[in-house]
Amino acid sequence: MEAVFSPPCPYYKKCGGCQLQKLPYEEQLRRKNGRCIALLGEFCHVEPILGMEEPFRYRNKVHAAFALDNRRRPTCGIYQPGSHAIVPVEDCLIEDAACDAVIRTIRDMLPAFKIKVFDERSGSGWLRHVLVRRGFATGEILVVLVAVSPIFQLQKPFVKALTEKHPEIRSVVLNLNDRFGPVVLGTREKVLYGPGFIEDVLCSHRFRISPRSFYQINPVQTEKLYRCAVDLAGLTGKETVLDAYCGIGTIGITASDQAKQIIGVELNRDAVRDAIGNAKLNGLKNCWFTAGDAGEYMEQTARSGLRPEVVFLDPPRSGSDERFLRSLLKCAPERVVYVSCDPATLARDLKILTAGGYRAEKIQPVDMFPWTEHVESVVRLIRQ
Ligand code: SAH
287 is catalytic: no
User: What is residue 2's predicted lDDT score, i.e. its pLDDT?
Assistant: 54
Residues in Cβ contact with 289 at an 8 Å cutoff, skipping those fewer than 6 apart: 246, 249, 263, 264, 265, 266, 272, 275, 276, 279
294 alpha carbon – ligand 1 mean position (Å): 9
Tell me the best of 250, 267, 349 to mutate to test the pocket of ligand 1, counting ligand atoms within 8 Å of each CB and taking the most: 267
111 alpha carbon – ligand 1 mean position (Å): 39
Q: With the CA atoms of 239, 245, 246 and 252 taken in that order, what torsion angle do they form, in degrees rounded to the nearest 10?
A: -20
Walk along the chain (384 residues) in steps of 10 and give the mean pLDDT of each run.
76 90 96 98 98 97 94 90 87 96 97 95 94 98 98 97 98 95 93 98 98 97 98 98 98 98 98 98 98 98 93 98 97 98 98 98 98 97 97
- Any bridge partners for residue 119, and if so which? 124
Q: Do residues 202 and 222 touch, judged by C-beta distance below 8 A? A: yes
Q: DSSP state, 69? A: -
User: What is residue 3's predicted lDDT score, i.e. its pLDDT?
Assistant: 62
User: What is residue 84's predicted lDDT score, i.e. its pLDDT?
Assistant: 81
- d(C-alpha 323, C-alpha 139), whole Å: 40
User: What is residue 82's predicted lDDT score, i.e. its pLDDT?
Assistant: 82
Catalytic residue (one of 15, 18, 331, 341): 341
- Own/partner contacts of 153-159, CB < 8 Å, gap of 24 or more, are 153/114, 154/113, 154/114, 154/115, 155/192, 157/113, 158/109, 158/113, 158/115, 159/192, 159/193
User: What is residue 7's predicted lDDT score, i.e. its pLDDT?
Assistant: 86
The predicted model scores a pTM of 0.96
User: What is residue 286's predicted lDDT score, i.e. its pLDDT?
Assistant: 98
Closest CA to ligand 1's atom 15: 268
Question: Could you give the angle at the alpha carbon of 126 between the alpha carbons of 123 and 131, nearest 5°?
Answer: 120
Closest CA to ligand 1's atom 10: 245
Residues with CB under 6 A from ligand 1: 214-216, 245-247, 250-251, 265-268, 271, 293-294, 314-316
